[in-house]
Amino acid sequence: QGVEVELQTNGLRLARRKDVEALVSAGLTHAFVSLHSHIPRIHDFLTGVPGSFAACASAIGNFVGCGVQTALNPVLTTANFGGLADYVRFVRRSLGVRAISLSVVQPRGWAFKNLALVPDYRALNVPVRAGLRAGLKEGVIIRNPICGLPLCVGSWYKYPGQCMEYSLGKLGLPFSAIKVKAPACVKCAAGAYCAGVWQEYAQARGFDALKPIAKKEFNCGA
């Protein structure tokens, strides 16, 4: 008793409520679910499994209905980033979800062979800002994990407490991810709280998306 148990899942095998109820009876307390879009055809395209949206949405409803603390883990790609604000509104209003961990596709393995799915981070500024505003309005906490974005993209620096790398920097812990910074990052006020971009992203897209944050805009390091 007292142990928290989290399941990371795509939801495909949990569309039936009785299966989730069995997990809860066994001690499940948290669920981390990969719903990549509020639009069924886009989610199904990204998973490569027809019907996966319906199964995933049902699983999320089952988790929430059974009292499991549920967070979603959408991965931003060129196929889904434009609808982020609508996604936030959908998962709150239709699925009852209040937490999102917002990842971005890492250009490794299969994704590196399909770079058309890897967005230039410059294109993410507007939709991520809109998504964060929607989160504030809807009461959805959106977090920026290690597999998320640098602080300068999407104005994440305005939400430092929701950024994992900021927390690591505050604690004086090392960044273990294989990331690199642009030459201009030496001028950034948030440099100690951001690891930059994935090495493969820099190889594929360069550093043009990275813009140093002025000290007057970021005073959270003190």
Confidence of residue 108 (pLDDT cuts 50, 70, 90): confident
The pLDDT of residue 15 is 98
Does residue 88 have a pLDDT over 80? yes
Identify the pLDDT of residue 113.
85
d(CA 199, CA 176): 13
pLDDT digits (tens, 9 = 90+) for 181-205: 999 999 999 999 999 999 999 999 9
Q: Which long-range contacts (CB under 8 A, 24 or more apart) does 65-68 make?
A: 65/17, 66/17, 66/20, 66/21, 66/24, 67/24, 68/20, 68/24, 68/28, 68/29, 68/30, 68/31
pLDDT of residue 221: 55
Determine the pLDDT at residue 124: 99
Q: Which fold has domain 6-170?
A: TIM Barrel (3.20.20)
Convert the pLDDT of each residue in 25-42 to its tens digit: 999 999 999 999 999 999
The model's pTM: 0.95
pLDDT band at 111 (very low <50, low <70, confident <90, very high): confident
Annotate 145-189 with DSSP letters as a single string.
Answer: -TTS--TTGGGGGG-GGGBHHHHHHHHTPPP-S-EE--GGGGG-T
